[in-house]
Amino acid sequence: MKIEIGESLMLSYLKHIKRCILYQANWKASSNWDFSEDAYDNVLYNYNIIVKQQEFYDIFKSELSQLIKQSEIDVIGIDENNKIYTSDIAFHENGLNYGSKIETKNRVFKKLLRTYLTLLAYFPNRKYELIFASPKVNKSTEEIIKDYFNVLNNNFLNENVIFEYISNEMFKEKIFIPTIEKTKNDSDTGELFLRAIKLSNLFEVLKKESSTQNTVIENEFVCNNRTQTTGENKLPLEFIPNDEKIFKRELLKTKKARRIWYYSEKLPIEDIWNASNFTLESNLRGNIYSNNKVRKWKTNGLTKLKLEIIS
């Protein structure tokens, strides 16, 4: 079965962030499945609402029964409370595009509304959260989709149904980064996205080792009297332990700390601070801000530096 990397990401997202205990990619209904008369009446009622809406009247080209039978959901999950999550994802490197902006809008809402009708048919009387996600959507296309999302929510949003559109920076903040953070200690070889991230991290390590001539220990933060960067030009720092006095005391003992460099456009990178020249008289933040990479943090794309004592 062909699995796209975007679908694998959303499967990991539903599993680890939404905590779904059952999940599947490329879900399709079977032609052998039937649904109850009550369920069909509910599906038909909502189908008629959709096709009578001026904004959505032309998105369906098939009859209702054929529409349901042909339904395919990129990723579906069920949590421990029997809530249903679905996700359709479109990853186009140059920005979401199915043709014209109107055609692109129609494809997005056809996916969402067909999925909604399918859930009503095969999973009636549940709570649903339906997601359409795309990591890159150009501004003009984004605007028209969001306008139509307002119409969608006005007609179908209720305490049992949530429609969510996640794109661009929000995709990074709500899906991509949290999924990576939550799965650092997982090693399920069936999750393609996780394997890809771990492979990427592996080559970051190899690249770092090569650049430091077979050692990840850098002797960069030396005691000196250079002026600290001040005000808005300071790179945000995080200490573990978070009490800086305790951190300094422990650093004097261990002479080493783990550094995690966070970037806006790529994954975090770890290395080791060799603080062998650090003394009781040394200024902790002065040493850190004197580092060349820290001084040029905006140029380097850094967003934060985390320092953790190695016990």
Q: For 91-124, how does the pLDDT look when each residue is reduced to its tens digit (9 = 90+)? A: 888 899 998 988 999 999 999 999 999 999 999 9
pLDDT recorded at residue 46: 92
Tokens 């790529």 -> residue = 266
- Give residues with Cβ within 8 angstroms of 153, minimum separation 6: 163
Confidence of residue 2 (pLDDT cuts 50, 70, 90): low
pLDDT recorded at residue 220: 42
220 vs 183, residue with greater confidence: 183
Arithmetic mean of pLDDT over the chain = 84
The letter for the amino acid at 55 is E
pLDDT recorded at residue 1: 52
Q: How would you list the strands of the sheet with 237-240, edge to edge?
A: 217-218, 269-274, 256-263, 302-309, 237-240
Is it the case that residue 219 has pLDDT exceeding 90?
no
What are the domain boundaries of the chain? Answer: 5-194, 212-309
pLDDT recorded at residue 171: 92
Give the pLDDT mean for 237-257. 89
DSSP 226: P
Is it the case that residue 15 has pLDDT exceeding 50?
yes
10 vs 62, residue with greater confidence: 10
Is it the case that residue 229 has pLDDT exceeding 60?
no
CA dist list (Å): 78 to 18, 201, 303: 9, 30, 35
Confidence of residue 87 (pLDDT cuts 50, 70, 90): very high
Q: What pLDDT digit, counting tens, does each position of 159-211 carry?
A: 899 999 999 999 999 998 888 887 776 666 667 777 776 666 656 544 444 44
Identify which of 223, 208, 214 has the alpha carbon closest to the alpha carbon of residue 276: 223
Confidence of residue 62 (pLDDT cuts 50, 70, 90): confident
> Which residues share a beta bridge with 259?
271, 307
Is it the case that residue 232 has pLDDT exceeding 60?
no
49 vs 224, residue with greater confidence: 49
Give the pLDDT mean for 13-34. 92
pLDDT recorded at residue 165: 92
Kindly state the tokens that stand for 245: 């006095």
Q: What pLDDT digit, counting tens, does each position of 268-297 carry?
A: 898 899 888 888 888 899 889 888 889 889
Angle (nearest 5°) at CA 138 between 135 and 144: 105
Measured between its terminal Cα atoms, the distance across the chain in Å is 46
Is it the case that residue 54 has pLDDT exceeding 80?
yes
pLDDT recorded at residue 117: 95
Confidence of residue 218 (pLDDT cuts 50, 70, 90): very low
In percent, the amount of the chain with pLDDT more than 70 equals 84
Is it the case that residue 227 has pLDDT exceeding 50?
no
DSSP sequence for 176-194: IHHHHHHTTT---TT-HHH
pTM of the model: 0.62
The letter for the amino acid at 86 is T
